[in-house]
Chain A
Amino acid sequence: KQEVTQIPAALSVPEGENLVLNCSFTDSAIYNLQWFRQDPGKGLTSLLLIQSSQREQTSGRLNASLDKSSGRSTLYIAASQPGDSATYLCAVIGYGQNFVFGPGTRLSVLP
């Protein structure tokens, strides 16, 4: 059974810092990996999707990498801003449309 963990559980940084969020999964037989953002009391917003054949994806200040063999993905946020404060979740997509989420990292960017 696929298990997804995220470290750290919470992170507080001053504005302008670069930061890295980590996601680990136990079964490397994945189809895709997706990073989401969730604001308090809201649904999830997709940030980046990495296909299993890819090593990384970039969107603006965000860069996500994937190492299937080691069961790891990282989300890099450059020049963090207070508006980046949210919970970041990774989801591993297995075959058969099976999405398994990690518990998330709660990020606070202080002005």
Chain B
Amino acid sequence: DAMVIQNPRYQVTQFGKPVTLSCSQTLNHNVMYWYQQKSSQAPKLLFHYYDKDFNNEADTPDNFQSRRPNTSFCFLDIRSPGLGDAAMYLCATSRGGAPDTQYFGPGTRLTVL
């Protein structure tokens, strides 16, 4: 049974055209994360939510925004995608307690034309 679900799995957008990626979880975890992973590189944390508390990484571009309307869902909005934003976007969750394991979704591969 899928625990962290990402939609769509593949997204193609045009340069400058806003795009929204979706993540949902059935684990009832407190924390949800968004990572960007470019080819052969480590996943880079963009931001995370602890419940409704939003935590933005210092070097996350303003072009990236996130929403968490409820415990189960979290969205990544890219306001004006550039060619450099083409990447795999990974969503993860964790309970927020100790010890803490992250559970990842399958990722959304974003292509910018």
Binding site for B on A (CB under 8 A): 4, 31-32, 34, 36, 41-46, 49, 51, 89, 91, 93, 96-104, 106
Contacts and interface: CB of A to CB of B under 8 A. Distances in A.
A101 B35 CA distance: 10
B42 A34 contact: no
B41 A32 contact: no
Contacts, number: 64
11 contacts: A32-B98, A36-B104, A41-B88, A44-B43, A45-B104, A93-B100, A97-B94, A99-B45, A100-B45, A103-B40, A103-B42
A44 B109 contact: no
B36 to A, nearest CB: 11
B106 interface: yes
Given A99-B33, A100-B45, A101-B44, 9 more contacts: A31-B100, A43-B104, A44-B90, A46-B101, A46-B104, A91-B102, A97-B96, A104-B40, A106-B40
Contacts of B98: 31-32, 51
Q: How large is the interface on B (under 10, 10 to 19, 20 to 34, 35 or more residues)?
A: 20 to 34
B75 interface: no
A34 B104 contact: no
B81 interface: no
Given A41-B109, A97-B50, A46 B102 contact: yes
Given A31-B98, A31-B100, A46-B101, A104 B42 contact: yes
